[in-house]
Structures are given as structure tokens and as C-alpha cells.
Amino acid sequence: MKQYYDIIGDIHGHADALEALLTKLGYIIVNGIYQHEKHKVIFLGDFIDRGPQQREVIEIVKPMIEQGYALSVMGNHEFNAICYATSGKDGQILREHSKKNTEQHQEFLDAYPVASERTVVVEWFKTLPVYIEVDGLRVIHASWNEQSLIEISLLLNDKQCLIDDAYEACSQKGSSAYHAIEVLLKGPEADLPEGVSFKDKDKNVRHNARIKWWIPQHEDKKNRLSFGDDITNEHHIEQTDIDNSYHYAIEHPPLFVGHYWLKGDIPEPLADNCACLDYSIAKKGKLVAYLWRGERLLSKNNFEW
């Protein structure tokens, strides 16, 4: 029997929304675990941070995945949590406990105040693969890029999970592993011309912009880059150098990602073969799923929230 998948976007500690969505999709609780007779969930990662129900989300998704009723990839917030809790060979923490990093991670730390409990969850995060390629579809947290996957291939085990040594390698700014994991879990970026900047959703000034890797290469550069608020010197954007190797071609299998904090009343695909399912639940948006039934071309009619 062909496997059907319900792919669910970034949850960020919103267990009530997750339970409501699972119920709407026909999942029922059996022996304490949400499950479906015919369907399986694929989560896009980012279970934690920002929201009020960190522990409750983990208590829902972890047994679903462990008992085979769901799959999941790692999000950048799970990767960050591992690095926040891990020291390198020099004894230094891989993700600095700065004010910014700690504030972003505080809800998770508050949900697991006992270090031993928190360690169990962080170790479980390590079992989440970087990507999933199954039954004709692809799933990754932010972007699918063949060169980046090649660059970290020796840092993955046979389940596509990062090996223990990978976290230090992927935390060394300037290394090929660092660049690869940034592309895969946060998305590719382009350096903006000198004098051009913008403010992101957290009001941080940025001098590089995310590349909309699903947009055809013949489109204007302004349309192929993503900005926040208050962009300066907009007329210089056409000078930006965009690496076309990041483009996800239409002939590739259907791809599902999260991460991008989309807005909008009615979700729709990014392209015929790409969909983002992060609709900003942590910013009073919605928790979104795509009901994939084997189709090559994705349809806006298959979104639920």
C-alpha cells in the first residue's frame, strides 16, 4: 500500500495548535500516542524555542517518531540547542551563551530546568536526520543543495544524522562544514553591495539577504532575494551576486521546507515542486500541514491548518 504523508511545519512550543491540527487530520491517541491508520507525519523540525509549551510538544512528537508514526528532520533550533549544550575539544561551548543566544533559547531552558532531563532531550535531537528522501519526496528544514550535502556527507551516519564530531566542525565559522549546515538549516544568502542593509524580524541590521532558491534564475534579483524592514539603497540590489547553484530546479522531486516565517491567510506552494510550511505560529500565525498523496506538482488545495 502506498504511504501517504502529512508534512507539518515549525511548531516552536505550541502544543495546543499541534494537537488541534493532528485531530483535524484524523490522528487519534492510542496508548498515549497520536497515530493514523493510513498516514504518517513528517515534521520539519524547530519543535522548540519561542513558544509556551516546549515540554508538551516534545511529549507529543518524540513518541510518535520513536514508535514509527512520524518522521522528522532536524531544525536549526535543535542544532542550536545541541551546540548550546556541547563543548568542543578545547572545552569551549560550541554555541556561545551570549545574551542574544540565551534569550532565544530561554523557553526551552525554562521547560527543562533539571539538567539531566534537558540532556536526554538534547541527545534525542541528535537522532533527527538532516534530510529525508523517501517515496518520491524530499524534506529538509531550510534548503536542499547538492553541494552542501556533499560537503557534510562524511559527517553523517547511515541515517543521515550528524555524527558527534560534526557539531564542532559545523560550528567553526569559515569552514566548509559551517557553510554547508548554514545553507541546509538556515538557507543560502547573498552578500549585499556596500551601503545596502535592512532590518530582520528581530530588528537586527543585516548586510546579506536570503536567496529565494525556488525563484527562476531569469527573474529580477530584487524578486530573488528576501528582506525584512527598512531596506536601504534598494536601487543597488541588481549589483548583488547570486550563486545560481542554489536554485532548486523544476525537474527535481517535490521538496518541503520550514524555517521562513511566511505570512498569509491561504498557504500556497512556493513553486510547482516546492512548499514551505512555516506560517509563523510563534508570531500569532498558523500551524500548517501539507497532505502529500504522491503528486509531482503541488497544490494549494492540499494545505491544512
> C-alpha dihedral over 166, 168, 170, 176, to 10 degrees?
-90
* 259 contacts 43 by C-beta, under 8 angstroms: no
Same domain, 86 and 166: yes
Matching residue, cell 548586510: 207
* CA distance readout (Å), 173 to 86, 102, 179, 208, 255: 16, 19, 8, 16, 28
Read off the pLDDT band of 198 (50, 70, 90).
confident
- Same domain for 199 and 292, yes or no, is no
Residue 223, domain extent: 189-242
Predicted pLDDT at 200: 73
Residue 224 falls in which region: left (phi positive, over 0), alpha (psi -120 to 50) or beta: alpha
Cell numbers at residue 257, please? Answer: 521546507
Of 242, 263, 283, which closes a domain? 242
How many structural domains does the chain have? 2
Q: In the listed set 197, 216, 242, which residue is the last one of a domain according to the structure? A: 242
134 and 225 belong to one structural domain:
no
Query: Which cell numbers hold the place of 265?
Result: 491567510
Taking only the tens place, the pLDDT of each residue in 208-225 is 888 999 998 888 777 888
Mean pLDDT for the stretch of residues 114-126 = 97
| 40/78 same-domain check | yes
The span from the CA of 119 to the CA of 94, in Å, is 15
The answer on 184 and 140 residing in a single domain is: yes
Element (H, E) at 133: strand 131-134
Residue burial 59-73, b: 16+ Cβ < 10 Å; e: rest: ebbbbbbeeebbbbb
Does residue 248 belong to any structural domain of this protein?
Answer: no
**pLDDT tens digit sequence for 260-304:** 999 989 999 999 999 999 999 999 999 999 999 999 999 999 999
What is the average pLDDT score of the chain?
Answer: 93
35 and 73 in a single domain? The answer is: yes
* pLDDT exceeds 70 at position 228: no
- Any domain includes 52: yes
Domain boundary among the residues 242, 269, 284 is at: 242
Domain assignment present for 214: yes
Distance CA 141, CA 277 (A): 10
- Judgement on whether residues 13 and 116 belong to the same structural domain of the protein: yes
The H-assigned helical ranges of the chain are 15-24, 54-66, 76-84, 99-111, 115-125, 146-151, 166-169, 176-186
- Domain-located, residue 183: yes
Predicted local confidence at residue 226, as pLDDT: 79
**Same domain (yes/no): 297, 209:** no
Same domain, residue pair 45 and 168? yes
Q: What is the DSSP string of 189-211?
A: EEEPPTT--EE-TT--EESEEEE
Residue 242: the pLDDT is: 84
Classify residue 247: in a domain, yes or no: no
Same domain? 67 vs 81: yes
CATH number at residue 29: 3.60.21.10
In a domain, 68, yes or no: yes
Are residues 122 and 13 both part of a single domain?
Answer: yes
209 and 80 co-located in one domain: no
Residue 271 lies inside a defined structural domain of this protein:
yes
249 is a domain residue: no
